[in-house]
Structure 1
Amino acid sequence: MNLVWKWLLGIFVVLVLGCAGGSYWLYSSGQLKKLQEQFRPDLQATTVRLDKAVKGDLIRTVSAPGLSEPKNKVLISAQVSARITALPFDEGDQVKSGDVVVRLDDRDLVANLDSARAQLDGEKARLDGAKATYKNMEQELGRRRELFSTKDISKAELDQSEADFQRAESNLRAAEFSIEIAKANISRAEKDLDNAIIKSPIDGVLVKRNAEVGELVVVGTFNNAGTVIMEIADLSKMLLQAKVDEANVAPVKSGQKAKVFFNAYRDKAFDATVQRVMMQRQVDRDGTAYFETELLVEIPKGDQVFWGMTGNADIEVETIRDVVKVPSQAVLDRPLDELPKSIVDASQYIDKTKKYARVVYKVVDGKAVTVPVSIGPSDLTHTIVLGGLAADETIITGPFKSLTGMKEGQAVRDETTVPKDQKPAPTTTAKAGN
């Protein structure tokens, strides 16, 4: 009896070890997965990303790159030639309108003002002498005229007296004009002295300083530019000087809304408004023709956009309302010879004279169905479907690798229902062309 039990125990151990070894072999060799797929057809389906065609509005945009610059900016230069004695602010400092930003050496200017005032005093003394001479000549001429009327002097003597009077009158007028000139010289000297102190005309930031204390600044002339001491800009109101491609500029108008994306704020969109579109065509260094377009960017409190930042504007040129739209990556170009003949013959949206057809794959009873479509404009993410697809229909939007190899009638399953360990690695999606 003991021998029988030993045989039974041995057979049991062999069976257990055999089952364990067989299970390990099935798992490690992949045979288990093949058996599962044989008895579970749903596991053979391609894992896809699903979405729905929706009805709504689509905003068509025109994109244009550009650089930021302040709406209000001033170049600070001198109106008198002198050496800089003080620069109270450094680059990056905030300044207020009326703040003194440059002081110039005013010693020569003070001397010029003193000289002008002394000249005025001298001209006043000369005027007093001219007035006295004029009065004497006037009295003398009156006396000579009386003597001439009584024949006590000759006509020549009277003529000489009249000439002396006219000369005195001219000297008086010249002295009066000299007074006005002297006063003007004083005003000019006072203005030059005032210009030795340069104040900021705006609230803003000192963005660039081109000179240092001790340097001589010169006044600009018609042929020579003067010294630009510094640049001040109001960075609270920024523009984007965008380059709109010649092929896209026609619908761009003043007043249109836009979104601006700066490289420094990759995930943030700034609201903007088109201020004006320049009328003159320009050509970039690479030969691209464009029209410069100015957009006013709204800067939220707490954010800072610097002068010269690279950005891109998406200008909203048209709103198309109440249309069927799908994610752009769902729209594919398929060679006609790869599509079922029955679909090609039956569809009104396929041009048989062309080699490619525009299609979307929708899902019916777990299988991909090829749907030829007619499409309209696109925005940054969606494309309008003019015909061939209705709102709320379930469509395949990815992954791109699965979409490119999709066939009519291919079994598919929603990736959201697949366990994480069975999901394919993410792939890059691509937009369909219009």
Structure 2
Amino acid sequence: MPKDQYPMPEKTDIEAIARRKGSGRTRSWMVAIAVAVIAAGAWFWLAAGNETGAVRYTTLPATMEDIIVTVTATGTIEPVNTVEISSELSGTIRKVHADYNDLVEEGDVLAELDTDKLEANVEQARATLTAREASVIEAEATLREKKDAYDRAASLSAQGISSQETLLAARAAYERAQAALDTAKANIKVAEANLKLVQTDLEKACICSPIDGIVLDRAVEVGQIVAASLSAPVLFTLAEDLTRMDLTVDIDEADIGKVSVGNKATFTVEAYQGQTFSAEISQLRYAPETIEGVVTYKAILDVGNEDMLLRPGMTATADITVAELKDVLTIPNAALRFSPPVEDAAGSSGGGLLGMLLPNPPGRDSGATGAADTDGMRSIWILRDGQPAEVRIRTGATDGSRTQVVEGDLAEGDAVITDMETGT
């Protein structure tokens, strides 16, 4: 077919196709330029914010101070000696002589049981003893009689007047009389023991105070029936002396190695806000106590209570002094937690076009305060000529707010950095 017979595209169609291809390339370049402009603007905005921001450091001086190291523990105040009084006998309470908070002395009657039956038992035992004593007198008279008969029979037998059988019978009667006297004497001892037993029961009917002290609790009323058993009920609870108290606290296993007998302490109770009391450790017990996986040890502290302000059962929080350091170089504990911002070594902007256009922005804080190294040294920062400078130090004891500096290039008065702010 001749060329002129093929249909030729119209000029307007070719121009439209060209325009579409050109517009696609133009649109791609426009998107790329827009992304670049946005990324660059973001980076310059961050950079400008950090360059124009003024860094202000908060500092405190290293000072020579006293460090008092304490261990905190909680516990309960209790009397030094508490006595629980029960009844050894069963019976009915006839009288109650003591009540709550009564001061009592050793031997004072607190309560009495009904003693009618006990008194009757005592009278019976005394009558039995009297009868046994009479039996001894009778046995002694019989013994004398039999001895005289035996002596006469022996004399007559020696003279040939009495037979040998008569002599033997007289001697047997004498020996039986002697045995009867021994039995009567033994019966006296039995009767005396029985009398002492019932008299002891009668004395125990008086429920008396074994100590000088104060009545903390009373659990008995007139007419109450008391049943003595292996677990007899407690009728009275006495405290020996409330002017001296014990504070029993639980010390964590992490702190038990720091405390020792003789350590001084102060403590507070909820009843007297703002008031502190003095105490001293008198005993550290070896037996552990484990509650919900936490191991603690009991410490007993002596407490003076001359003003009678403290009461049994009060909850106390004690601060036990375990070390006192005089005039040592110290820094605030906040300095040990401070670390200036550092660049993230791995980068935080990612890869790709945004990563190339937006490198790590200045001021990004990825640093952290490091712990002590194997030599026990750690870093702090001080302000020298307006710039932070790292100083390696070895720390010692702390009281919770300041820490002792044992070793390091630090002097009294150095401005130790504790915090920083970036302004606009």
Superposition TM-score, scaled by structure 1 size: 0.67
1:29-428 to structure 2, matched below 5 A, reads 52-220=61-229, 224-233=230-239, 234-284=241-291, 286-304=292-310, 306-334=311-339, 337=342, 358-359=379-380, 373-386=393-406, 387-393=408-414, 406=420
3-state SS of 1:101 partner: strand
- C-alpha separation in 1, matches of 2:282 and 2:297: 13
- C-alpha separation in 1, matches of 2:159 and 2:340: 129
**Partner AA of 1:289 in structure 2:** V
- C-alpha separation in 2, matches of 1:299 and 1:388: 49
Conserved? CA contact 1:145–1:158, under 8 Å: yes
Change (3 A) 1:115 1:334: farther
Conserved? CA contact 1:270–1:299, under 8 Å: no
C-alpha distance after superposition, 1:209-264 (max 9, x if no partner): 222221222334xxx12232111113222112222223322343222222233343
Report deviation, 1:383: 2.2
Superposition TM-score, scaled by structure 2 size: 0.69
Report deviation, 1:302: 4.8
Report deviation, 1:70: 0.9
Report deviation, 1:100: 2.4
Change (3 A) 1:73 1:196: same
- C-alpha separation in 2, matches of 1:266 and 1:282: 30
**Partner AA of 1:313 in structure 2:** A
**Partner AA of 2:128 in structure 1:** Q
C-alpha distance after superposition, 1:314-356 (max 9, x if no partner): 33233334422344445425378479xxxxxxxxx996899x9
**Partner AA of 1:383 in structure 2:** T
Report deviation, 1:208: 1.9
Conserved? CA contact 1:335–1:357, under 8 Å: no
Conserved? CA contact 2:105–2:209, under 8 Å: yes
Report deviation, 1:119: 1.5
- C-alpha separation in 2, matches of 1:313 and 1:249: 14
- C-alpha separation in 1, matches of 2:211 and 2:158: 75
Report deviation, 1:287: 2.1
- C-alpha separation in 1, matches of 2:111 and 2:371: 73
Change (3 A) 1:80 1:369: same
**Partner AA of 1:226 in structure 2:** A
Conserved? CA contact 2:132–2:187, under 8 Å: yes
- C-alpha separation in 2, matches of 1:312 and 1:159: 92
3-state SS of 1:59 partner: strand
Compare 65-74 and 165-174 and name the one that shifted more: 165-174
1:22 alignment counterpart: none
C-alpha distance after superposition, 1:40-76 (max 9, x if no partner): xxxx99796x765442442333333322221011111
3-state SS of 2:319 partner: strand
Conserved? CA contact 2:381–2:388, under 8 Å: no
Conserved? CA contact 1:83–1:105, under 8 Å: yes
Change (3 A) 1:211 1:294: same
1:418 alignment counterpart: none
Report deviation, 1:196: 2.3
**Partner AA of 2:420 in structure 1:** M
Q: How many residues align?
A: 342
Structure 1: unaligned runs, 5 residues or longer: 1-43, 340-348, 397-402, 412-434
- C-alpha separation in 2, matches of 1:99 and 1:325: 61
- C-alpha separation in 2, matches of 1:159 and 1:335: 124
**Partner AA of 1:390 in structure 2:** A
1:33 alignment counterpart: none
Change (3 A) 1:164 1:353: closer
% identical aligned pairs: 31
3-state SS of 1:214 partner: coil
- C-alpha separation in 1, matches of 2:88 and 2:244: 28
Larger Rg: 2
Structure 2: unaligned runs, 5 residues or longer: 1-53, 345-369
Report deviation, 1:131: 1.3
